[in-house]
């Protein structure tokens, strides 16, 4: 496999073509951004930590029957992935209230949500990722009803696997965002799962162990990502 030209550079990752038209290289960079790119910083080792974290989680999900685009690690900061036709809708599950849910509904942070909530957001930086619903997604042809049903089913399946994984390691999976794409007739999990795209708290102390450390200027961002990883069994050496 040969890495070719850069196809797309996102805020924290870049996608490169390969000599195989069905496979891309995903490069996890140290760039970190929040608030639609308003706050930006380079965090040393973040690319490596998130690449390893994501590979570990994607392997767990694949083993639990969730189809993912992840094919394997290529280097400390690079992974090989399947090419997907991405669906421009983000799927968010919340087990505990935090973030935009609290701002939108005026509820306090830290309420257990049972059953967990499920929300859809349009992936659009210029519009600040507005909340949408299945009706809008179908009418605007972002996805079919069957695709949306499968995305919801897979998003909840991920919740079952990961809530348990973090719980057993003394942590609370507060919420997370997933993105899906099409590979032939199949709906496949794309993008990444890392502390950049979810909220994780220590069960006992409720210490924030995710990107809120960066958003809220709490410090020790990458050291804490590594602590989360080590607790679930990832070796970063």
Binding site for ligand C5P (CB under 6 A): 90, 92, 98-101, 129, 175-177, 197-199, 211
- Least distance (Å) between residue 189 CB and ligand C5P: 14
Nearer to ligand C5P, 51 or 74 (CB): 51
- Least distance (Å) between residue 51 CB and ligand C5P: 16
Strands 198-202 and 131-132, how do they pair? unpaired
Token pair in block for residue 117 = 């909530």
Residue closest to ligand C5P, measured at CB: 99
Residues β-bridged to residue 27: 14, 78
Nearer to ligand C5P, 74 or 190 (CB): 190
- Least distance (Å) between residue 146 CB and ligand C5P: 24
Nearer to ligand C5P, 16 or 118 (CB): 118
Nearer to ligand C5P, 56 or 193 (CB): 193
Rounded CA separation 93/175 (Å): 6
Phi, psi of 168 (to 5 degrees): -65, -20
Contact status, residue 31 vs residue 11, Cβ threshold 8 Å: yes
- Least distance (Å) between residue 185 CB and ligand C5P: 27
Residues β-bridged to residue 177: 92
Contact status, residue 99 vs residue 106, Cβ threshold 8 Å: no
């Amino acid at each position: 496999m040969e890495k070719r030209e850069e196809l797309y550079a996102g805020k924290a990752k870049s996608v490169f073509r390969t000599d195989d038209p069905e496979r891309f290289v995903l490069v996890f960079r140290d760039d970190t951004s929040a608030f639609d790119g308003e706050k930006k910083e380079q965090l040393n080792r973040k690319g490596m930590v998130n690449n390893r974290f994501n590979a570990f989680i994607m392997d767990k999900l694949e083993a639990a029957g969730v189809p993912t685009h992840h094919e394997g690690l290529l280097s400390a900061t690079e992974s090989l992935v399947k090419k997907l036709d991405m669906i421009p809708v983000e799927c968010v599950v919340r087990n505990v209230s935090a973030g935009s849910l609290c701002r939108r509904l005026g509820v306090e942070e830290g309420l257990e949500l049972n059953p967990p909530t499920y929300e859809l957001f349009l992936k659009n930086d210029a519009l600040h990722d507005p909340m949408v619903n299945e009706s809008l997604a179908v009418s605007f042809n972002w996805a079919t009803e069957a695709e949306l049903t499968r995305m919801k089913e897979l998003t909840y399946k991920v919740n079952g696997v990961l809530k348990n994984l973090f719980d057993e390691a003394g942590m609370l999976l507060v919420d997370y965002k997933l993105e899906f794409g099409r590979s032939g007739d199949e709906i496949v999990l794309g993008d990444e799962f890392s502390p950049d795209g979810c909220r994780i708290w220590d069960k006992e102390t409720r210490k924030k162990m995710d990107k809120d450390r960066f958003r809220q200027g709490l410090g020790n961002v990458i050291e804490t990502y590594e602590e989360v990883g080590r607790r679930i069994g990832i070796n970063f050496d």
